[in-house]
Chains A and B, each alone.
Chain A
Amino acid sequence: MRELLKKHRKDIIIISIFLVIAIASLSLTLMTRENGEKVRVTVDGELVGEYPLHLDATYELRGANPDTEGEVTNILVIQDGVAYLSYANCPDKTCVNTGKIKYTGQSIICLPNRITITVVGDSDGGVDLVS
């Protein structure tokens, strides 16, 4: 066992560094997050709307997918302070499976329709989380 440790000392150190960085950045993210005020919706990089999280509603989104021009591509639901997508017309459904978001910085992404939905705070855009 000791020989094995000695032989793979470098490997153990490298993997530990990966784990430490991952766990440290993860705990930092989890500790600094707070409930968001609204969601910001962009299509193809452009802002199309901001919807408050405290208002229960359903919004039809039209993504920028050349195959389904002008159709409703995704349906955004806001309910009890959380936002989620209830429908997507793409095959992979990653955005629907992303589930519910409510903390600033969290987002739902639909790559095929080029839609992003991000939770932001009251004043700022939650940008200081990533900048």
Chain B
Amino acid sequence: MKNTKKLATLSVIVALAMVLSFLESRIPAFVAIPGIKVGLANIAVIFTVYKLGAREGVLISIIRVLLVSILFGSTVSLWYSLAGAILSLIVTILLKKYTKLAVVTVSVAGGVSHNIAQIGVACLLLETNIIVYYLPFLLLSGTVAGIAVGVASALLIKRVKLEGSR
């Protein structure tokens, strides 16, 4: 893909990821546990990793986290989100590269690792292990959300044609 075209494509995907993040922040928490969310923006990241490549996926993910934190969050939530985004990204990229697992499975593994990373950072920041209590809740929500996000991503990867993409 030519550079200009690639830049335009990546920009559109970042914008899309941010819209998804915003939408998600508007959904009222249906369970009273922090950290439980669908992770809609991950659709954009998985799509990018599969369609454009790992490097582009990293770019999209980090730019999204930075922008969303600046617009809607605080400095603390930046570290928190960044840790989740990076671990889930690493898991996604490695599974895609070295296994033949379906997108849904990769998405579940990514979602669960996202939650684990966030709990880890929260424990470090607060110097406490009390949050470990919530790990089972986050495991379940991460798996279920991962399935939903994975199905959506798989459909997009199959249907959307990008010029010069894989």
Chain A residues at the B interface, C-beta cutoff of 8 Å: 8, 10-11, 14-15, 18-19, 21-23, 25-26, 28-29, 42, 44-45, 90-92, 94-95, 97-100, 105-107, 109, 111-112, 114, 116, 118, 126, 129-130
Within 8 Å by CB of B133, from A14, A15, A21, A130, lies: A130
Beta-carbon contact of B130 and A116 below 8 Å: yes
Within 8 Å by CB of A111, from B126, B136, B143, lies: B126
Contact A98:B122 (CB < 8 A) given known A112-B74, A118-B130: no
CB-CB < 8 A to B148: which residues of A?
A: none
- Bound-state Cα–Cα, A100 to B125, Å: 23
Is B132 interfacial (CB 8 A cutoff)?
Answer: yes
Beta-carbon contact of A15 and B108 below 8 Å: yes
Question: Main SS of the interface on chain B?
Answer: helix
Within 8 Å by CB of B136, from A25, A95, A107, lies: A25
Beta-carbon contact of A45 and B143 below 8 Å: no
The count of A-to-B residue pairs whose CB atoms sit within 8 angstroms is 98
Beta-carbon contact of B80 and A111 below 8 Å: yes
CB-CB < 8 A to A114: which residues of B?
A: 125-126
User: What does the 1/0 interface line of B68-90 toward A look like (CB < 8 Å)?
Assistant: 00001110110010000000000
- Bound-state Cα–Cα, A18 to B125, Å: 27
Instruction: Report 11 cross-chain contacts, Cβ distance below 8 Å, ordered by A residue.
Output: A11-B101, A11-B105, A14-B108, A19-B140, A26-B136, A45-B127, A94-B34, A98-B32, A105-B133, A111-B125, A111-B126
Is B62 interfacial (CB 8 A cutoff)?
Answer: no
CB-CB < 8 A to A29: which residues of B?
A: 133, 136-137
Beta-carbon contact of B108 and A42 below 8 Å: no
